[in-house]
């Protein structure tokens, strides 16, 4: 049997792509090596624009955070934003990804779980996928949504260079709602510690309905090899100890079941080839300042599905036709990712000053929070940000005198 499209990987990118294709009556197979519900290491923080763009996911939201507190590395400065409107939607990836998969199934996609793709050969008239079991599947088109270290990207020859990554450690800890509200208030404030314990990255605490997600992530591209710093595991333990001392976590909190993952931080130069497009982490669509990726995964899945459906109608799945995918994602979010990427190797360099300025000027703070959180376009607000930065820096100099 020949499929029109096989989507490899049923994370947010893959399930979104499969759902959109099935709604367009395309014969699509969605497969994943895991059996769902499956765990996926993640903070599970969704900026509000994800729900705005994909309103059908609202019922899958676990809880809502109505604000955030951001600390400078010395913790001398902090910036707090507390509002009545949602600041961040929280999801549990185990449930969220399962619900998205069910939507793809309901839309008419064929789904195979516990199915690992081990090889792909792209031929002039079709593509042949080989599974771990030795079984083969024929399809006209492959959409690679298989996450970081994508096999589809490798087989299509698209990830030829070794890109820097963000290395992370996470503990998801069950807590009663009462304890969560005691420590993080009813507003479930998110806490962000810039350069926590001196790492070239940040530590986060995302309070959810009945658990907290505590993590630490370091951007390899911003690490200064000459600067001594603790290992990531030591940094995590010190980070938790410090929060306990400050009364930010219960005294009996124990570091356990730590899990690690790496995530790509820069888009691949090319995200398409003959009969192949890549979405989400497989394509490196990550905000290289925050590590956020679900929005880009779902958006790219949708963009890919629309273009592939057009290609099937025109009977053209050549790389010349699929090159439009690159233009579409670039127009939609790629310009912002590129601009954020330019600051990545500077990660945290001026964070002490930036948080101080944020704590002293709300307008500047809202621009930083809006841009890094993807609420407003970096490309569009670059100039207002620079002007505000110059203005508040100058005011800061006079204030010091
Ligand atoms: C520690 C950490 C914290 C994060 N926090 C956030 C956050 O708070 N907010 C946010 O927006 N983003 C966050 N991210 C990023 C986010 O998790 C990813 O961007 C997102 O999961 C990408 O979705 P995806 O569908 O592209 O890939 P994935 O979610 O990784 O899904 C890929 C799927 O492909 C399957 N697969 C892989 N290889 C094969 C194969 N050979 N055969 C079959 N199936 C295969 C896997 O089993 C998996 O289910 C975080 C990432 C990490 C590591």
- Prior bond of 170 cis (ω within 30°): no
> What pLDDT score does 344 carry?
79
| Domain co-membership, 112 together with 180 | no
Rounded to the nearest whole angstrom, what is the distance from the C-alpha of residue 190 to the centroid of ligand 1?
A: 21
Atom 15, ligand 1: which residue's CA is nearest? 293
Q: What is the pLDDT of residues 225-275, one digit of tens each?
A: 767 788 999 999 999 999 999 999 999 999 999 999 999 999 999 999 999
Rounded to the nearest whole angstrom, what is the distance from the C-alpha of residue 138 to the centroid of ligand 1?
A: 25
| Domain co-membership, 334 together with 216 | no
| Domain co-membership, 98 together with 246 | no
The pLDDT mean for the chain works out to 94
Residue 198 corresponds to which tokens in the numbers above? 């001196």
Answer whether residue 248 is part of any domain.
yes
Please tell me whether residue 18 adopts helix, strand or coil conformation. Answer: helix
Mutate to test the pocket of ligand 1, among 10, 11, 38 (most ligand atoms within 8 A of CB): 11
Answer whether residue 59 is part of any domain.
no
* Atom from ligand 1 closest to the CA of residue 261: 53
Answer whether residue 57 is part of any domain.
no
Helix axes 378-400, 362-372, angle to 10 degrees: 150
Name the pTM for this structure: 0.96
What's the structural domain count of the chain? 3
Quote the DSSP letter at residue 14: H
Rounded to the nearest whole angstrom, what is the distance from the C-alpha of residue 211 to the centroid of ligand 1?
A: 20
**φ/ψ (deg, to 5) at 235:** -60, -40
| Residue ranges lining ligand 1, Cβ < 6 Å | 8-14, 31-34, 40-45, 116-117, 145-147, 151, 168, 170, 215, 261, 263, 280-282, 286, 291-294, 297
| Domain co-membership, 26 together with 149 | yes
| Domain co-membership, 308 together with 338 | yes
The residue from 342, 361, 381 where one domain ends is 342
Rounded to the nearest whole angstrom, what is the distance from the C-alpha of residue 221 to the centroid of ligand 1?
A: 20
Rounded to the nearest whole angstrom, what is the distance from the C-alpha of residue 11 to the centroid of ligand 1?
A: 6
- In the numeric block, the tokens 């989400």 are attached to 280
Atom 19, ligand 1: which residue's CA is nearest? 293
The residue from 216, 245, 263 where one domain ends is 263
* Atom from ligand 1 closest to the CA of residue 34: 47
> What are the residue ranges of helices labelled H in 129-231?
151-155, 177-184
CA distances from 189 to 51, 83, 243, 295, 376 (A): 19, 10, 14, 21, 21
**What's the full length of the chain, in residues?**
401
Which range of residues forms the domain containing residue 124? 2-43+93-162+266-342
Burial level of 320, CB count in 10 A (0-12/13-18/19+)?
A: exposed
Q: What is the pLDDT of residues 335-366, one digit of tens each?
A: 999 999 888 777 778 888 999 999 999 999 99
| Domain co-membership, 25 together with 79 | no
Residue 164 corresponds to which tokens in the numbers above? 């820097």
> What pLDDT score does 401 carry?
61
| Domain co-membership, 29 together with 114 | yes
pLDDT per 10-residue tile (average), the chain, 401 residues:
96 98 98 97 95 97 96 92 95 97 98 98 96 98 96 94 90 96 96 92 96 95 79 95 94 96 94 98 95 97 98 98 98 94 80 91 93 90 95 87 61
| Domain co-membership, 215 together with 80 | yes
Answer whether residue 53 is part of any domain.
no
| Domain co-membership, 174 together with 258 | yes
Mutate to test the pocket of ligand 1, among 297, 298, 305 (most ligand atoms within 8 A of CB): 297
> What pLDDT score does 162 carry?
79
Q: What is the pLDDT of residues 34-67, one digit of tens each?
A: 999 999 999 999 999 999 999 999 999 999 999 9
Quote the DSSP letter at residue 45: E
| Domain co-membership, 213 together with 179 | yes
Q: CB of 20 within 8 A of CB of 156?
A: no
| Domain co-membership, 182 together with 224 | yes
Instruction: For residues 196 and 164, give the distance between their C-alpha atoms in angstroms, rounded to a whole number.
Output: 20
* Atom from ligand 1 closest to the CA of residue 295: 11
> What pLDDT score does 164 carry?
84
| Domain co-membership, 282 together with 335 | yes
> What pLDDT score does 397 carry?
86
Question: Which domain CATH number covers 328?
Answer: 3.50.50.60
Instruction: For residues 279 and 156, give the distance between their C-alpha atoms in angstroms, rounded to a whole number.
Output: 13
| DSSP assignment string, 203-272 | EEEEE-SSEEEEEEEEEGGG--TTS----HHHHHHHHHHHHHHTTSS-TT----S-EEEEEE-S--S--E
Answer whether residue 61 is part of any domain.
no
Rounded to the nearest whole angstrom, what is the distance from the C-alpha of residue 286 to the centroid of ligand 1?
A: 11
């Amino acid at each position: 049997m020949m499929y029109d499209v096989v989507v490899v990987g049923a994370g947010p990118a893959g399930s979104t792509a499969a759902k959109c294709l099935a709604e367009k009556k395309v014969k699509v197979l969605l497969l994943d090596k895991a059996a769902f519900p499956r765990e996926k290491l993640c903070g599970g923080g969704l900026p509000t624009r994800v729900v705005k763009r994909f309103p059908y996911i609202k019922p899958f939201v676990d809880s809502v955070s109505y604000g955030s507190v951001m600390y400078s590395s010395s913790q001398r400065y902090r910036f707090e934003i507390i509002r009545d409107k949602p600041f961040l939607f929280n999801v549990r990836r185990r449930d969220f990804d399962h619900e998205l998969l069910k939507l793809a199934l309901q839309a008419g996609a064929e789904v195979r779980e516990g199915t690992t793709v081990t090889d792909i050969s792209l031929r002039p008239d079709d593509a042949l996928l080989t599974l771990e079991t030795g079984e083969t599947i024929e399809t006209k088109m492959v959409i690679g949504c298989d996450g970081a270290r994508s096999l589809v990207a490798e087989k299509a020859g698209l990830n030829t260079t070794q890109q820097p990554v963000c290395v992370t450690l996470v503990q998801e800890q069950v807590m009663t709602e009462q304890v969560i509200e005691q420590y993080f208030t009813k507003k479930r404030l998110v806490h962000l510690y810039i350069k926590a314990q001196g790492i070239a990255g940040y530590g986060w605490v995302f309070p959810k309905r009945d658990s907290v997600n505590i993590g630490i992530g370091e951007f390899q591209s911003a690490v200064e090899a000459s600067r001594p710093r603790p290992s990531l595991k030591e940094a995590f333990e010190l980070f938790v100890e410090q929060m306990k001392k400050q009364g930010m976590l219960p005294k009996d909190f124990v570091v356990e079941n730590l899990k690690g993952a790496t995530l790509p931080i820069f888009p691949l130069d090319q995200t398409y080839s003959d009969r192949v497009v890549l979405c989400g982490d497989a394509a490196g669509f990550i905000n290289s300042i925050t590590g956020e990726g679900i929005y880009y995964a779902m958006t790219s899945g949708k963009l890919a599905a629309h273009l592939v459906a057009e290609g099937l109608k025109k009977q053209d799945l050549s790389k010349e036709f699929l090159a439009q995918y690159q233009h579409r994602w670039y127009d939609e979010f790629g310009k912002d990712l590129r601009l954020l990427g330019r600051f990545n190797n500077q990660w945290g360099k001026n964070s002490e000053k930036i948080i101080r300025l944020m704590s002293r000027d709300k307008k500047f703070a809202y621009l930083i929070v809006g841009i890094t959180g993807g609420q407003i376009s970096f490309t569009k607000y670059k100039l207002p940000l620079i002007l505000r930065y110059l203005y508040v820096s100058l005011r800061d100099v006079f204030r010091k005198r």
